[in-house]
A and B are shown apart, each in its own frame.
Chain A
Amino acid sequence: MKQIAATAAAFGLVAALATPVLAQDMSANIKARQGQFRILALNLGVLGGMAKGELTYDAAGAQAAADSIVGVSMVHQPTLFVEGTDDMSVEGTRALPVIWENTDDFAAKWAALGEAAKGMQAAAGTSAEAIGAAMGPLGGACKSCHETYRTP
């Protein structure tokens, strides 16, 4: 009886110690991944604006935006998408639990983004029309992951 109580206390202690530390760590991971998606969107804003003629085309600016997208696409995702940070377990995220059921597919979708980003990197410095053509595959890569892995 005494032993059970002691074990329970030990578990309680572990839980008490573990929870706040984990929660803190996970909020950093969530912030970081949401921030990386914002970096993607902001740079796409520059490229999309040039493709649509809302911004004047500037080869250096376009190249910098495309390079930034490639840079983000090289960030190792498992560090940001740690287990227990889905929308059923914690607040403040739209990441669906299926991400952790289909880790291979999620990784493949991130890799597909990398490929499309390289297409944009090759196009950005040439012309606004070339950017327009590269927007399709890039947008397709975003959409196909959001379709399955992000809650509305």
Chain B
Amino acid sequence: MKSLALKGLTALAIVGAAGLYITRPQTVDTDTFAALTPDPAHGAQVFTASGCASCHMAEGSKTPLILSGGQRLASPFGTFVVPNISSDPEAGIGGWTLDQFASAVTKGTSPEGQHYFPAFPYAAYQKMTDQDVVDLWAYMQTLPADQTPSQPHEVGFPFNIRTALGGWKLLFTPKDWVMPADTPQLERGRYLVEAQAHCGECHTPRNTLGGLQHDAWLSGAPDPSGRGKVPDITPATLGWSMGDIAYYLESGFTPDYDSAGGHMAHVVENMAQLSASDREAIAAYLLALPN
């Protein structure tokens, strides 16, 4: 009897350890990144397309390049307070290495080896090319330092246990593309939508555990604020032409000249800074979505 219990416990411990092993925080391969030459000018484009400032600048800030953090993101699991990622070595991430930065953005792993919460959209950024990540880091080091300390999240038990996020990541952050793309334009659109601008984080519904429902990709979701709805942008519902979508992303105007609001206002400000061909590529991607 005693030995049976012991066996059971040992088995449990092994399963548990294996579980923790496969769900342990992942980091990037140092050599791959060290071999790349950074291009900070291109990094600025990556930064804009990825909307880093939309979350990391102070609430309502007029200086979006000061990444002092402090915005509060409401979710069903609690409120996340976005951290300072300015170049300040103490309050921000100025003292980090390239590897630490790349592991944070593409693996959701902190320099201390902990999992980040998926409110930081690394589920999208993990699809970025290594070169883009290297360029992004080079650019971000040129941005101003700010000494505002990061604030703790207001997330209660059990969602505040970062170890548990390993399993979550394994289940809900597949690295595969959601959509096929068989032309260079669709590939570019897919890269912008799925790897950088993280359109799916807002426009795709989530399951009860907060994982994106990839089979209902971009088909609309309740607004995380609890009021209103992030619209369905699949082609049959949206009913817009390629020109309509590209113009909206540039100007914020819908085909009937209403103007974008809510969180989409920031997205439009970012998309307006991309090239016209990039906005068309995003439009082409949306028009190719299944209904």
Residue among B257, B259, B263 making CB contact with A42, cutoff 8 Å: B257
Cβ contact within 8 Å between A41 and B265: no
Cβ contacts under 8 Å, B253 to chain A: 44, 48, 135, 139
A151 nearest CB neighbor, chain B only? B228
A54 nearest CB neighbor, chain B only? B243
Cβ contact within 8 Å between A135 and B251: yes
Quick one: given A41-B257, A42-B257, A44-B257, are A152 and B252 in contact (CB under 8 Å)?
Answer: no
Q: Which B residues, 162 to 220, have Cβ-Cβ distances below 8 Å to chain A? A: none
Which residues from chain B sit less than 8 Å from chain A, CB to CB? 60, 223, 225, 227-231, 247, 251-253, 256-266, 268-269
Cβ contact within 8 Å between B229 and A152: yes
Min distance, Cβ A142 to any Cβ of chain B, angstroms = 3
Quick one: given A139-B251, A143-B265, A147-B266, are A152 and B223 in contact (CB under 8 Å)?
Answer: yes
Cβ contacts under 8 Å, A136 to chain B: 251
**A33 beta carbon closer than 8 Å to chain B:** no
Q: Which A residues, 138 to 152, have Cβ-Cβ distances below 8 Å to chain B? A: 139-140, 142-152
Cβ contact within 8 Å between B247 and A52: yes
Min distance, Cβ B40 to any Cβ of chain A, angstroms = 27
B227 nearest CB neighbor, chain A only? A151
Cβ contact within 8 Å between B262 and A146: yes
How far, in whole Å, are A135 and B260 apart by their CA atoms in the complex? 14
Cβ contact within 8 Å between A144 and B228: no
**A58 beta carbon closer than 8 Å to chain B:** no
Cβ contacts under 8 Å, B252 to chain A: 139-140, 142-143
The 5 closest A-B CB pairs, nearest first, are A146-B261, A142-B259, A147-B265, A151-B228, A152-B228
Cβ contact within 8 Å between B260 and A143: yes
Q: Which A residues, 25 to 46, have Cβ-Cβ distances below 8 Å to chain B? A: 37, 40-42, 44-45
Cβ contact within 8 Å between B268 and A94: no
Cβ contacts under 8 Å, A140 to chain B: 252
**A83 beta carbon closer than 8 Å to chain B:** no
Cβ contacts under 8 Å, B251 to chain A: 135-136, 139
Quick one: given A139-B252, A144-B265, are A41 and B258 in contact (CB under 8 Å)?
Answer: yes
Cβ contact within 8 Å between A152 and B230: yes
Q: Which A residues, 87 to 132, have Cβ-Cβ distances below 8 Å to chain B? A: 87, 94
A41 nearest CB neighbor, chain B only? B257
- Other A-B contacts than A140-B252, A144-B265, A147-B262, 18 sampled, CB-CB below 8 A, are A41-B256, A44-B253, A45-B256, A87-B227, A94-B228, A135-B253, A142-B252, A143-B260, A143-B268, A145-B261, A146-B259, A147-B263, A151-B225, A151-B262, A152-B223, A152-B261, A152-B262, A152-B264
Can you offer 22 A-B residue contacts whose CB atoms are under 8 A? Answer: A41-B256, A41-B257, A41-B258, A44-B257, A45-B256, A45-B257, A48-B257, A52-B247, A135-B253, A139-B251, A139-B252, A139-B259, A142-B259, A146-B259, A146-B260, A146-B261, A146-B262, A147-B265, A147-B266, A152-B230, A152-B231, A152-B262
Cβ contacts under 8 Å, B264 to chain A: 152
Min distance, Cβ A139 to any Cβ of chain B, angstroms = 5
B243 nearest CB neighbor, chain A only? A52
The listed residue with most A CB atoms (<10 A of its CB), out of B228, B231, B253, is B253
A52 nearest CB neighbor, chain B only? B247
Cβ contact within 8 Å between B223 and A146: no
How far, in whole Å, are A52 and B243 apart by their CA atoms in the complex? 10
